[in-house]
Amino acid sequence: MKASFWMSLAALVLSSVGAVAAEDQQPNRRIDPNAPMTFTYTGNGGNMKGSDWIAAEGMITADTPKRFTEFMKQHGATDTTVQFNSPGGNLLAALKLGEMIRDAKLDTGIGRTTFREDGQSWSARSPGICISACAYAFLGGVTRFLDKDDRYGVHQFYDAKSLDEPTRKTFSAVDVSLNQVLGGIVLEYVQRMGASPGLVALAGSTPPTEVRFLSEAEAKKLLVDNTGSSDTGWRIEAKGGGAVLTNEVTYVPRPPVHFALFCRAGKGGTFLGISSSMAYLDRWLKEGYGVPQPLSAEEVAGSLDQIELSGRGWKTTLDTKAIVGASIDKNRRFTMLVALSAEVTKAIRKNAITRVRFDFPFQYAGFLISEFQSEVPSEALDLTLKNCIR
């Protein structure tokens, strides 16, 4: 009975519509996207993060998880991205593949890899497609990113035989029950991967003969693409006998950046504190620039070109002399304190602060670029500046 149950589940697959596949899939010179999925560790010759990737091209079959296991044993690829280009395939195999990608702590993207005749890849990644079962495998990525020209789509799962004779009564009560069980498995998987359950509802409302492609906004809203900036909102915290206005901004895949706006009693002036883990920057410098040793707090602060603050209708650039303190603790958490002039404080009180940018001479400026989704409440800011910490 148990074996029959899983055999019935395995018969349910997600397949792309032939017309859609013909229109959106143009096989490159090396791999047919409708053939069983293959995995190739490749790159464009660069030495920075994103210069190498795992090309996952083709149809997801029952053997795909086994192929991925064998691939990982052979290549041991880590800290890289699985680039999908697939019209779909076997649903259960796709869920298993997504689990394996998550266990390996890999990221996912969509893109067609074009290979030269000698088997090496071109440097440019062209837009790809990931629909049907592939859409669920894609969710296994720790960080998931979609370019604007990539195609990500979902629809109802189904038994392929039912599409041959859609009006024929082919399902028993047991089959209907199995469908509900599989639906529960998919929903649990989607939520565990960190995506919105709304994705399952969207797929369930799309006939199996159609594909519902997600827009950029929908992919962000449903957390299919989990990159981008978000914040916790500004809130007042009691500290040092006074008040501190705090916010935390997260820009996946970078670590959260914590901000604290406050004034100091006796010394006068307003300060902006910034704190974040150095783990991402340490790895980026080592892999992208060959910097063997982690930077010290003085080296990080000393490498700044400028500090830019902006809000509604205003922008100012601070000299790095505004940095009045920097430190890194034993857990490699970096903290920097920036003094704000009376003019900047006035601008923040009048027109909020929406963006903080720290420019470095290297290409890792994103470490401290933060967009605030929520503005500083003027009443909260006034209360904070009237209750300076000691």
Q: How would you write the pLDDT of the chain (390 residues) with one tens digit per residue?
A: 444 433 344 444 444 443 333 333 333 344 566 789 999 888 765 555 667 889 999 999 999 999 999 999 988 777 789 999 999 999 999 999 999 999 998 999 999 887 766 555 454 467 899 999 999 999 999 889 998 889 999 998 765 544 444 444 554 444 445 566 677 889 999 999 989 899 999 999 999 889 999 998 899 888 899 887 777 888 999 988 899 999 988 877 678 889 999 998 876 789 999 998 888 778 777 766 677 788 888 888 877 777 888 888 889 988 888 999 999 999 999 999 999 998 998 888 888 888 887 766 544 444 455 667 677 788 888 899 899 998
**Half-sphere CA count of 1, side-chain side, radius 13 A:** 1
CA atoms within a 13 Å half-sphere pointing along the CA-CB vector of 192: 14
Cis amide prior to 253 (ω within 30 degrees):
yes
**Model pTM?**
0.61
Q: How far is CA 215 from CA 15, 45, 146, in A?
A: 21, 32, 10
3-state secondary structure of 378: helix
**Residues 69, 81: Cα–Cα separation, whole Å:** 16
Question: 3-state DSSP call for residue 55?
Answer: strand
How is domain 2-221 classified at the architecture level of CATH? Alpha-Beta Complex (3.90)
Q: Report the run of H or E that residue 19 belongs to, with start and end.
A: helix 18-24
Closest CA to 185 of 205, 170, 203, 200: 200
Q: What's the pLDDT at 214?
A: 95
Residue 115 contacts residue 141 (beta carbons within 8 Å): no
What's the CA gap between 260 and 235, in Å, rounded?
10
**Residue 345 carries which side chain, given as an amino acid letter?**
T
